[in-house]
Each structure stands twice: as structure tokens, then as C-alpha cells.
């Protein structure tokens, strides 16, 4: 008997990403206000980009590798991130998946939109990192 897996579709994942963006806006904005201000210096803008990437990597890495297996946005919507064997991700695996999201987004976002038409609702970053985003089952 095979277990039915309920994959998370594009709009559920998009909604979770909106929630996560709103949550991450606060620490990123505070850093920008304190360290960058209204400066247009190229070096400070690079520092700003690096700090945003660092904060987001920590957020996704810690939360998606935690026992909750998802960011706050995913948790609110009842989603979890796992590997293709439905095991919890390591911190490194979760960070790699997040960073591969940049690759998926690069060609006009097509790699992210793939969630809408692939059999297992995977984006390019999920396929590269061998991950799934599924709805939580009642336990």
C-alpha cells in the first residue's frame, strides 16, 4: 500500500513566502537603518545585500532543519520541507535549498513557477536539492 503524499502547490508556497518576507523585513530593515542609513555607497549596498542574504540563510536554515521543518510562513500554512525520502533536512541542506532558490528565480522566475506544473510540485531548487514541500498530515 502506497502512502498518499499531499504536495504543497504554488499558491500555498507563494503565500508562505509572503509571510516569511514580512517577518524578515523587520531585522533586515533595522540592520539597514543602523549600518547603511540613506547612503548610496556601493560598498555599503554590498554589505546590505550580504547581511540580507546572511539573515535569510539563517532563518531558512534553522527553521527548515528544525523539528518544525518549515519557516514560520510554512508552519502557519501547515507545510513542511523534507528530502525526497520525507526525512528532515540538515541545516546545510536547508541553506543550500534556499540559495538554489536564486538559481531557480534567475531565468524570469521559471524555476520557481515549475512548482505549478511538476508532478511533485517541485521548483528547480527543490529538484536540484532533492527536496519536497508537503502538507502536514494530522498526527
> Is residue 4 assigned to a domain?
no
The string of pLDDT tens digits covering residues 31-41 is: 777 776 677 77
Average confidence score pLDDT of the chain = 89
> Is residue 123 assigned to a domain?
yes
> Is residue 90 assigned to a domain?
yes
Question: Which residues are registered as beta bridge partners of 131?
Answer: 83
> Is residue 36 assigned to a domain?
yes
Give the domain extent around 53.
10-135
Whether pLDDT at 15 is above 90: yes
For residues 8 and 121, is the Cβ–Cβ distance under 8 A?
A: yes
Total domains in the chain come to 1
pLDDT band per the 50, 70, 90 thresholds, residue 3 = low
The string of pLDDT tens digits covering residues 45-101 is: 787 788 888 989 999 999 999 999 999 999 999 999 999 999 999 999 999 999 999
> Is residue 108 assigned to a domain?
yes
Amino acid at each position: 500500500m502506497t502512502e498518499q503524499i499531499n504536495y504543497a502547490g504554488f499558491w500555498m508556497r507563494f503565500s508562505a513566502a509572503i509571510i516569511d518576507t514580512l517577518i524578515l523585513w523587520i531585522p533586515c530593515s533595522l540592520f539597514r537603518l543602523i549600518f547603511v542609513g540613506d547612503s548610496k555607497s556601493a560598498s555599503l549596498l554590498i554589505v546590505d545585500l550580504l547581511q540580507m542574504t546572511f539573515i535569510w540563510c539563517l532563518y531558512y536554515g534553522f527553521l527548515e532543519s528544525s523539528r518544525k521543518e518549515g519557516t514560520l510562513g510554512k508552519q502557519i500554512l501547515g507545510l513542511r520541507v523534507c528530502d525526497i525520502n520525507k526525512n528532515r533536512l540538515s541545516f546545510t541542506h536547508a541553506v543550500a535549498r534556499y540559495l538554489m532558490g536564486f538559481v531557480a528565480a534567475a531565468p524570469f522566475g521559471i524555476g520557481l513557477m515549475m512548482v505549478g506544473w511538476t508532478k511533485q510540485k517541485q521548483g528547480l531548487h527543490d529538484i536540484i536539492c532533492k527536496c519536497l514541500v508537503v502538507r502536514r498530515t494530522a498526527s
